[in-house]
Amino acid sequence: MTRLLLPDTPLIVGRAPAAGLRIDDQTLSREHARFLLSGSRVLVEDLGSKNGTFFAGGRVSRVELTMGDEVVLGAVSLQVQALGAKGDSLGLVREELIRHRLEEELTRARQFHRPFALLLVRALTPGGATPPEREEGAWIAAVRGHLRSVDVMSLYGSSALEVLLPETGAEEVHRIARAITASRAGGVGQLLVGLALYPASGGTADALFEAAREAAHRASPEQPVESGPAALLVRGESPEGAIIAGQMMRPVLETVANVATSRIPVILHGETGTGKEVLAQLIHESGPRKGRRIVRVNCGAIPRDLVESTLFGHERGSFTGALQQQKGVFEEADGGTVFLDEVGELPPAAQASLLRVLEVGAFNRVGSNRELEVDVRIVAATHRDLEAMAEAGTFRSDLYYRLSGVVIEIPPLRERGDEIEPLVRRFLHAANKANGRRVEGISPETLALLEAYSWPGNVRELRNVIERAVVVTQGVLIGPEALPARVRTGGHRPEAAPGKGSAPAPAPAALEPEQAREKVNQFEARMLEEALAATGWNRTEAAKKLGMAVRTLSYRMKVLGVKKPE
Ligand SMILES: Nc1ncnc2c1ncn2[C@@H]1O[C@H](COP(=O)(O)OP(=O)(O)OP(=O)(O)O)[C@@H](O)[C@H]1O
């Protein structure tokens, strides 16, 4: 039998029914040994077994194995194998590393206005079960086969992969996603892809991941590729049940209830992932506009030259590409609510047009002289200090005063400790349902770690963490090992993870795990060097081989200090 080792997730081998790898052999103890994949090595620790663990002819209590090594537990022999045909691990990295790579990609993409994509690939077996053990690696190799060497992937549980595609635009990522879903991987009925594109689907690591995950759950054999939400989203009913609110959120909810019945413009101010969209939806649904549309537009994700036509629509032929007449957000939401997310990112021309709508309730489609009148309520959201921006002149102050009838401050999750447990319960239930799992709860020790963490990504980050914990948990309770290292260590380095039973560290803002970054950089530098060496240091050829733009290659070479050897 074969069992897939997930990076940083210990696997207990033994005779006990609850062991991760259960081998019914009398020479084994109930919990005989623990296997842990760390980079390309596997650490094996004997758990005080009766008949012992043996390596290279001697009894050992701890041993480090490399690919191909054999270890004997009692009378049972186990071999460590790599997934790739060439003995590699198919470029699988740990969750921490893909997250840090994602953060790096975000910094780069924001600075240079470059797109990139994140995929969540799900392997679906005919009965909905995980792939047969014998075939566990085959579908992963199939996915890798469609990727370029710059792309990074990480396991998400045992039947899904997260894939980061740097420097990839919409067309290319759709092509790759379609190719993945068309491949027939051994033992797997179908590969499904959820796709999130920066900046359209989100502007933070957690938002992109949430978008890819939700899209992957929507994907089906009939429609195997689904995309995360676009910049524009029309919502009818609220997607989930009542929102969860603790002590700190009570005054917020009271204000929401007070403003919901009126038409006064509202600004929701809070960090990313604190629930601004959830509250905008609540305002809409608690007032007389319930039943009409709420149209959300992410002002930061629309290409600059399309902002006005997105908001106000356009006439046919009013600019290159305007092939049809099209209604804008304000017309679509007539009678309902427009939710202007990331309103601080609106370019000046659109700010002027928006001011006019607020003042006179009328606007023109791009390319038309006809004035259109609408009845909409405006709810805006931002993580920026709009008042300070208005004072500094980077946001129109007259627009700020029009929008800010009521400003609602949403506290960050780290100040809402009493919500962690109910939120965990809610997200656990949702993750079980979405993934066909039956995880029953969370250990007290794990809950304490969640309560001590600082949650820079707020409720959205908590939701992602619980969803991942559910898919990697093999038993009935979520334990600390199912949490990402940054949460386990209260934001300290992942390598310094505390052992079982140690007290959680107080939670400062998440620190950059320098070691993880260093490893990713080394990995990337090696990849670039290999491609360059293979092409006689011809950048154009090497860039082609790596599937990246020459400009990006030159930039990364500079950043990573990759130079042609003398
Ligand atoms: N009080 C809550 N109860 C239940 N779920 C919540 C709550 N607040 C937020 N969520 C969930 O957390 C995630 C993020 O929420 P939301 O999109 O509203 O945040 P946001 O502040 O608008 O984020 P951003 O600024 O990044 O757009 C969503 O999945 C949402 O359903």
Highest mean pLDDT among 79-93, 317-331, 438-452: 438-452
Q: Based on the domain organization, do 332 and 198 belong to the same domain?
A: no
Nearest to 469 by CA among 490, 454, 484, 453: 484
DSSP string, 329-386: HHHHTTTSEEEEETGGG--HHHHHHHHHHHHHSEEE-BT---EEE---EEEEEESS-H
Q: Based on the domain organization, do 461 and 529 belong to the same domain?
A: no
Q: In this predicted structure, what is the pLDDT of residue 136?
A: 60
Instruction: Taking residues 248-265, report their average pLDDT.
Output: 91
Q: What is the CATH number of the domain that holds 203?
A: 3.30.70.270
Q: Based on the domain organization, do 18 and 70 belong to the same domain?
A: yes
Q: Based on the domain organization, do 398 and 249 belong to the same domain?
A: yes
Q: Is the CB of 459 under 6 A from ligand 1?
A: yes
Q: In this predicted structure, what is the pLDDT of residue 212?
A: 95
Highest mean pLDDT among 119-133, 332-346, 357-371, 478-492: 332-346
Q: Based on the domain organization, do 459 and 431 belong to the same domain?
A: yes
Q: Is the CB of 272 under 6 A from ligand 1?
A: yes
Residue nearest to atom 10 of ligand 1 (CA): 275
Q: Based on the domain organization, do 225 and 168 belong to the same domain?
A: yes
Q: Is the CB of 83 under 6 A from ligand 1?
A: no
Question: What residues have CB less than 8 Å from 145, skipping those under 6 apart?
Answer: 183
Q: Which domain holds residue 117?
A: 92-230
pLDDT tens digits, one per residue of 515-550: 555 656 776 777 788 889 888 999 988 888 776 778
Q: In this predicted structure, what is the pLDDT of residue 300?
A: 83
What count of residues does the chain have?
566
Among 30, 58, 80, identify where a domain stops.
80
Is 283 in contact with 263 (CB distance < 8 Å)?
A: no
Is 192 in contact with 122 (CB distance < 8 Å)?
A: yes
Residue nearest to atom 12 of ligand 1 (CA): 460
Q: Based on the domain organization, do 422 and 469 belong to the same domain?
A: yes
Q: What is the CATH number of the domain that holds 37?
A: 2.60.200.20
Answer whether residue 306 shows pLDDT above 60.
yes
497, part of any domain: no
Q: Based on the domain organization, do 187 and 67 belong to the same domain?
A: no
CA of 458 to the centre of ligand 1 (A): 8
State the closest ligand 1 atom to the C-alpha of 274, by its place in the atom list counted from 1: 21
Nearest to 428 by CA among 417, 419, 439, 418: 439
How much is the mean pLDDT over the chain? 83
238, part of any domain: no
Selected residue with higher pLDDT from 421 and 132: 421
Is 281 in contact with 294 (CB distance < 8 Å)?
A: yes
122, part of any domain: yes
CA of 219 to the centre of ligand 1 (A): 22
Residue 198 CB neighbour total at 10 angstroms: 25
119, part of any domain: yes
pLDDT tens digits, one per residue of 546-564: 767 788 788 788 888 888 8
Q: Based on the domain organization, do 395 and 420 belong to the same domain?
A: no
Among 350, 374, 403, identify where a domain stops.
403
Among 48, 80, 112, identify where a domain stops.
80
Q: In this predicted structure, what is the pLDDT of residue 190?
A: 87
Residue 318 CB neighbour total at 10 angstroms: 16
502, part of any domain: no
State the closest ligand 1 atom to the C-alpha of 281, by its place in the atom list counted from 1: 18
Into how many domains does the chain fold? 5
Tokens of 439: 């995880």
Answer whether residue 234 shows pLDDT above 70.
no
393, part of any domain: yes
Q: Based on the domain organization, do 355 and 423 belong to the same domain?
A: no
pLDDT tens digits, one per residue of 58-75: 899 999 887 668 899 998
235, part of any domain: no
pLDDT tens digits, one per residue of 150-202: 898 888 887 889 999 998 888 999 999 999 999 876 566 789 999 999 988 88
Q: Is the CB of 377 under 6 A from ligand 1?
A: no
Q: In this predicted structure, what is the pLDDT of residue 500?
A: 30
* Residue reference for tokens 């090594």: 69
Q: In this predicted structure, what is the pLDDT of residue 381?
A: 97
Burial class (CB in 10 A: 0-12, 13-18, 19+), 418: middle
Calpha distance 475→470 (Å, rounded): 10
Q: Based on the domain organization, do 264 and 398 belong to the same domain?
A: yes
Q: In this predicted structure, what is the pLDDT of residue 509?
A: 32
Weakest-pLDDT range from 7-21, 221-235, 385-399, 473-487:
221-235
Instruction: Taking residues 237-260, report their average pLDDT.
Output: 81
